[in-house]
Structure 1
Amino acid sequence: MSERRHRRHSRVESLQRENDPRSRGEGRQRERQDFFDVELPEEAAAGCAHWRSGTILAITLVGFWLLYMFFARSATAGVSAPRELEADVSWRDSKTAVAAAVAAAEEKASRCYFCNQPIYAKRSISQIGQLVVGQDKALLQLEQELSRDRKFRSVALLGPPGVGKTMTATALMESFPWPQNVRSFSWNTKGVATGKNDVVKFRQLRHFMDQLSSCGMNLHVIDDLRVDDMDVVPIYNEMILNREGTLDDTKAAQTVLVVYIFNLEKQHLEEHQKYLQGMSDATTSIKFRSFGIEELKLCLQSELRAMKHSLEEEAEADVLKGAMEQIDTAGCKSLRPLIEQHGKPLPADSD
């Protein structure tokens, strides 16, 4: 890596830390850098080049000014103390101006690279695949959608509860290189009535749309949708595509990814997935398959590692039996409370 590219990488990495309130530790930052590279596509790099040119111009101009002040300072030799003091102050002010001009140009260049860095879908989906079990086909399709060169992308994750849909979206949000652009909303929150409240819900989505940023990509996740909520997809897609009610024409240039998550009943899974296929031409439907005992075993091992718990053979059988009784409605989600009930925490000094 060249010295210039190394400096660029350092500036972008620093800006990512400043803009990400959820990743303060060095370990978390290194994990985020594993997901995304900072090398820009040719077109984006050309767009940022004028800030580098601005840096050079700023240094050149203030350099001439420093030379002028140097000779002015030299000319004060042998003159009165007040005039010499005045020249010294001007010299120090000039050096401060140089530092400020260079810092401002570098900051603008760094932000330009930060906002235009690409998202490497293959790398991020590979990392998500280590968390979500049994959904390789769905994750491959999601990777393909993330890789598309479009200003607006929309996907709908369709499947029964507890098979990794929300976990996939959560992992994507947590690793997103522009965390300030992430918005999420649960459509069918428990205790919230439907009907007239749909107006309130769309008002919240409209608020998300009004907060769209021109720096980087925007990620909107709408979770806990049901079959009879399918109209949410084309309506929100149109709201974003048309930027209804906005006076700023530049909003059409913003990049947006919307992830819709539908929880479907297992007994009607294929029927509902087929029904939802045509809900919007702008949205790609991604099918998450239902789980059986083999997938449940994989989920169990993943949960045990995450919780740092262990199960004896008899306890493991009880956990799997209890989870299988709820698999149609909860999938792998029922495992955690069962592990807490039957398992034991690993010793603190264990790996």
Structure 2
Amino acid sequence: MATDKTPIQGASVLHKTKKRLSKKRDKPSPKPWRTGSSLLQRGLRRLAGAEQSVQKRPRRDQEKQMDPKRSPLWMLGLLLIICAGLCLCLQLDENSPTIGGFLESYKNQYHSIVNNRENYCERAQRLGNMAIQARHHVFHQDLALEQLEQALENTTHQIIALVGSSGVGKSLTASVLRNHFPWPENVKTLSWDTARPLRRVQSMLPNLVHCGQNLILIDNMTPKDAQDVQEIHELIRAREEISNGTQQPHMKQLTVVIMFSVNRLQSDEAFKADMKSLKQLPHAHVIAYAPLEPIHLLDCIRREASIEGLQLDDEIVEEILRGSDPSFSGCKPIRAKVLLYGKRAIESDNTDQKLEPGNSTD
């Protein structure tokens, strides 16, 4: 409940108010310090604002440069021209006499420099020379190597089948082809006894190259795998970019050499039946290797001894000949026997010197 103020109370309040005012007057005035601090604060604020404005200006300039709406028209025009040129190059077919010829010439020059051979990608090189090289390594197969030379020269033959019993020189011929192929990086090998061989052939075909020719060597096929030759032929035909014997240089050129091994341990009738069926392989140029005779083993022994640098006595040679049957295994077991019984030329010379009477150390 509010109470009325008396005159005495009002006089006391007025006295207290005057007393406070007098105390404030007696204190030193803070105006000069406050005025200086305010000026200092204003100066610092101006400096900070100037620094912020300087930092913001390059950002604004970058934003102007990055803004596509403010970019010059000539830059947009240049980008359009580049995009149009790229699209034109992608859409143009390599058959074009201008673009295709330029790309072909560029690839040829690049591979010629890398491989240090002029016209490295030129496909006109004779593949028949490989068969000539094989004559120095494969003995007593003159007719087969002559047919192989003709087949390699005929570019329409994409599949060549080498047929014969074990040890007659089929794998050795394939090794010579691999080592003397003019484009060694374009050679691919496959053993048919691996898992899913047809799928592996299918995966090889897209990876063929345009520079030079391509060669696929397939080993360890048997007469039971004869039907797979048709599958290989269809896989090659399904690839439109592979075409032998054409006048289109952009097409890939491929030769497939298959080695068929016929079991000679079976009866003569079964062996002849297998050879006859393989000679009738469709879509393949079949070359039959002749069986070897006992007299042919002597050349195999001399070749292996020369390669390994070994010497064999006449008695050892006769023993090797008596223990080998060329009609069943050909020259395959000869290498192991030469390594077993052969002696190094240096060792044999030292032995002869020790046996001489004048060389005794006593």
Q: TM-score scaled by structure 2?
A: 0.60
Q: Which amino acid aligns with 2:345?
A: L
Give aligned-pair identity as a percent. 27
- Distance apart, 1:323 and its partner CA: 2.1
1:276 paired with 2:281, answer: no
User: How much has 1:149 moved relative to structure 2?
Assistant: 3.4
User: Structure 1 pair 264/108, CA: closer, same or farther in 2 (3 Å)?
Assistant: closer
Stretch moving more, 231-240 or 267-276 = 267-276
Unaligned stretches of 5+ in structure 2?
1-96, 244-250, 350-362
Shift of 1:220: 0.6
Letter aligned with residue 125 of structure 2 = I
C-alpha distance in 2, partners of 1:348/1:241? Answer: 58
| Mapped contact 1:319–1:342 kept (Cα < 8 A) | no
Residue 158 of structure 2 corresponds to residue 153 of structure 1: yes
- 2:15 corresponds in structure 1 to none
Separation (CA, whole Å) in 2 of partners of 1:229 and 1:172: 23
How far apart are 1:105 and its partner, in Å? 9.5
Match of 1:241 among 211, 222, 237: 237
Contact 1:214-1:251 at 8 Å conserved across structures: no
- The total of aligned residue pairs comes to 239
Match for 2:298: what amino acid?
K
Secondary structure, aligned partner of 2:297:
helix
Higher relative contact order (CA 8 A, sep 6+): 1
2:215 maps to 219
Matched, 1:337 2:336: yes
Aligned to 2:171: 166
Partner of 2:320: 319
Q: TM-score, normalised by structure 1?
A: 0.61
Q: From 177, 182, 199, give the equivalent of 2:182.
A: 177
The answer as to whether partners of 1:322 and 1:338 remain within 8 angstroms in 2 is: no
| Within-5 A mapping of 1:95-114 | 106-107=109-110, 113-114=119-120
In the aligned structure 1, how far is the partner of 2:260 from the partner of 2:111? 41
CA distance in 2, matches of 1:221, 1:121: 15
Distance 1:284 1:250, change over 3 A: closer
Shift of 1:257: 0.4
Per-residue deviation, 1:131: 0.1
Which whole-Å CA distance do the structure 1 matches of 2:127 and 2:347 have between them?
A: 36
Shift of the 50–348 alpha-carbon distance from structure 1 to 2, 3 Å rule, reads farther
Q: Structure 1 regions of 5+ residues with no counterpart?
A: 1-45, 56-103, 190-196, 244-248
The corresponding residue for 1:298 is 299
**Which residue is 1:58 aligned to?**
none
Residue of structure 2 in register with 1:22 after alignment:
none
1:265 aligns with 2:267: no
1:339 deviates by 0.7
Q: CA deviation at 1:177?
A: 1.4
Q: Measure the CA separation in 1 of the matches of 2:173 and 2:108.
A: 38
Deviation at 1:122, TM superposition (A): 4.0
User: What residue in structure 2 maps to residue 5 of structure 1?
Assistant: none
1:180 is aligned with what amino acid? E
5 Å-filtered alignment, 1:1-351, equals 106-107=109-110, 113-150=119-156, 153-188=158-193, 197=195, 200-243=196-239, 249-252=240-243, 253-266=251-264, 267=268, 268-280=270-282, 282-324=283-325, 327-347=326-346
Partner of 1:99: none
DSSP-derived class of the 1:184 partner:
strand
Shift of 1:328: 3.9
- In 1, the alpha carbon distance for the partners of 2:102 and 2:347 equals 51
TM-superposed deviation, 1:340? 1.3
CA separation of 1:160 and 1:106: change in aligned 2, threshold 3 A: closer
1:210/1:331 CA distance change after superposition, 3 Å: same
- Displacement of 1:156 in angstroms is 0.5
Q: Residue 51 of structure 1 contacts residue 106 of structure 1 at CA under 8 Å; is this kept in 2?
A: no
The answer for the alignment partner of 1:29 in structure 2 is none
Distance 2:235 2:305 in 1: 43
Distance 1:149 1:204, change over 3 A: closer
Q: Distance in 2 between matches of 1:117 and 1:235?
A: 27
Give the direction of change, closer, same or farther, for the CA distance of 1:234–1:318 in structure 2 (3 Å limit): same
Q: CA deviation at 1:269?
A: 3.6
- Aligned amino acid, residue 264 of structure 1: V
Mark the CA change 1:51 to 1:345 in structure 2 (over 3 Å): closer, same or farther: farther
